[in-house]
Amino acid sequence: MDHSLSLRAVRTWFVALPDTEAAAPLARKAVSHATRTLRHASGRPWLVGRWAPEDMIVGEHEDTRVAVTGEHAVTPRAAERAAAVVARARSLTALDRAADWAGSFHLIASSGGQVLVRGCAVGLRRVFHAETTPGSAAVGVASDRADVLAELVGAGLDERRIALEMLTPAAPYPCAGDPLWRGLHALPGGCHLTLPPHGRPRTTRWWSPPDPVVPLAEGAGRLRDALVEAVGVRTRGRDLVTSDLGGLDSTAVYCAAVRGDAKVVAYTAALHDEAGDDVYWAGRTVQALDGVEHHVVPAGDVAMTFDGIDALDDILDTPSVLTVDRNRRMGIVEMAAARGSGLHLTGLGGDELLAGTPARLHALMLTHPLVALRSVRGYAAKYQWSRRGVLRQLLDRRPYRAWLERVARDATEPPVAVDEPLLDWAVPPRMPPWATADAVAAARELLRADPSVDPRGRGHGEHRELVAMDGISQWARHIGQMAAPLGITVSAPYYDARVIEAALAVRPRERITPWRYKPLIVEAMRGIVPEASRVRSTKANATLEEEAGLREHRPALLALCEDSRLARLGLADERVLRDWCRRALSAETESYLLHPTVACEVWLRSREMTPRPADGEHGER
């Protein structure tokens, strides 16, 4: 199988190169496929890629360059001031103070022969890096896309990593979302990468979650300001934007956008399940605001899960479980683009940030035991958890490394029950029934590869929330890659560092409770979301869409089983997979096992296609 990629086929990408002559062969290869080149003060290529001129803001001061790309309100003058701060400090780490801007963006700087590349606090703005030897010296290089970087350095596909991607519901931290090519690495969220002229890239942390000590009332005000600002930097100066208007989280984003000068057009997708009440609550919001443009997409016009999965050709740089819902998720985005919108706002990220996780009870038991015990009883009643299961998980103080070892050991055990308490480091993932012995062995080897791994956060709760944000923010990233050919940006303001900080700073015992639905956003949106819908305490789900979609699109699913690419790699038993796809499956306990496998199969097939190169001519600044 040929998994190479024409760099011209990817609409937007950048590669950051160190300030050294040893990088010249890499630079020449990248430039031959690029439309833009920015240079170090030395004149050597610094940033090479494909982007619109207005999408990369650059500031210069003496030998220092600072570039910003993403969703922000940074001006060239502001970037120039940041470059001046770095030049005076003679240290790229001065950017941590100088570039404290609202929004979500990649930050790249060149100064004194060093290059700094930074993404965001979670997995939305990713940075991939590799070390290669194009000549006699080792060179570090970074990119915002793993596939582009792999093609540039000639990295081969690592089949073991694909095996790990088959874990359900997902590969655990720190393996989740790793690039699938040998020699490529992903920069952790909240870190920046330094590329020296010679030697290995260095990783340094620039962001950490705040101590959760702020009272709810004060935190609500901080969150309101941060979210309004996050939406404002995206909508300011635009004539028209579009927005999801579904659950409480997207309603808050939509109402924040309506406060600006842009015309905001709302879209709500109806569900086939009569219990889905998004349309009802959206109607209450629209009625209270009066005069806004609102489109309800009838359930019959919304694609089911598994729709079109045998014909997808999106160019994603990692497999995405969003693949099974690709057409359902992208329907509104396509309507928004047809309406003329260049920006579509979503509420992605709100669940993990605002509802939080009951796993915070581990820490709460030590500081506020009576409050914790009351919450334990509430969650156990709400989700029908067994008392024994709750006690077992709360009393388990083994470190994360021990949990990861258990995941490797139990990889072929049956999935955990749906009523298993949610107090552990994560839901233990499992390999699907069709995984081969080689796939299981590869997954176990990678899970055990780092015997000193630490959790993502301080304790079970913070770890679980940050890992969830890393995972779902990649959904937003993948939707962005799917939407790029339409010329529209799909935006998730809840993943901005300032918004995340404002929410995570609130006391967990007030932010996360079985007695109220997302109390932080409910309080934060007083005066912004109409009272008619601010107190909503329900959330729709698409279980019916999954089960009906499996029945309706079974032929497409079975088509993926024919000449399976995973089977070619020796990772899946094609017969077992086909038999599974022929069965009637429950969405909550069975069909979800297919999602990571379908994501990998579709991704492998998409790499074989030869997409049309994106338009654009090479240019320089």
Evaluate whether the domain defined by 216-354+475-541 bears CATH number 3.40.1010.10: no
**Domain boundaries, given as residue ranges, for the chain:** 7-208, 216-354+475-541
**pLDDT for the residue numbered 101:** 96
Q: What is the model's pLDDT at position 502?
A: 98
The helix-helix angle for 459-483 and 326-339 (nearest 10°) equals 60
Tokens coding 169 = 């519901």
CA distance 459 to 175: 19
Q: Can you give the pTM of this predicted structure?
A: 0.95
Which residue do the tokens 């496929």 mark?
33
Q: What is the pLDDT of residue 614?
A: 46
User: Is residue 621 exposed (0-12), middle (13-18) or buried (19+ Cβ within 10 Å)?
Assistant: exposed
Find tokens 């040893």 and name the residue. 22
Query: Coil, helix or strand for 171?
Result: coil
Q: Return the number of other C-beta atoms located less than 10 Å from residue 450's C-beta.
A: 12
Rounded to whole angstroms, the Cα distance separating 61 from 493 reads: 31
Residue 6, pLDDT score? 63
What are the structure tokens assigned to 463, written together?
Answer: 């770890």
Please tell me whether the peptide bond between 319 and the residue prior to it is cis, using omega within 30 degrees of 0: no
Which amino acid belongs to residue 558? L
Query: What residue type is assigned to position 465 of the chain?
Result: E
**pLDDT at residue 612 in the model:** 46
Helix H or strand E encompassing 26: helix 24-31
- How far is 254 from 256, CA to CA, in rounded Å? 5
Residue 136's pLDDT is 66
Does 174 sit behind a cis peptide bond, omega within 30 degrees of 0 on the bond before it? yes
How does 211-224 read in b/e, with b if 16+ C-beta sit within 10 Å? ebebebeebbebbb
Sequential DSSP letters for 492-530: -GGGSHHHHHHHHTB-HHHHS-TTSSSHHHHHHTTTTS-
Helix, strand or coil, per DSSP, at residue 295: strand
Provide the 3-class DSSP secondary structure of residue 293: strand
pLDDT of residue 137: 76
Residue 317 identity (one-letter amino acid): D
Domain 7-208 sits in CATH at 3.60.20.10
One-letter amino acid of 372? A
User: Can you give the pLDDT at residue 617?
Assistant: 44
Here the tokens at position 414 are 């049956």
Residues of the chain with pLDDT under 70: 1-6, 135-136, 542, 610-621
- Helix axis angle, 248-258 relative to 278-289, nearest 10°? 20
Q: How far apart are CA 174 and CA 178, in angstroms?
A: 8
Q: How many helices (H) and strands (E) does the chain have?
A: 25, 18
As a whole number of angstroms, the distance between CA 49 and CA 472 comes to: 26
Residues 6+ apart with CB under 8 A from 147: 5, 10, 315, 317, 607
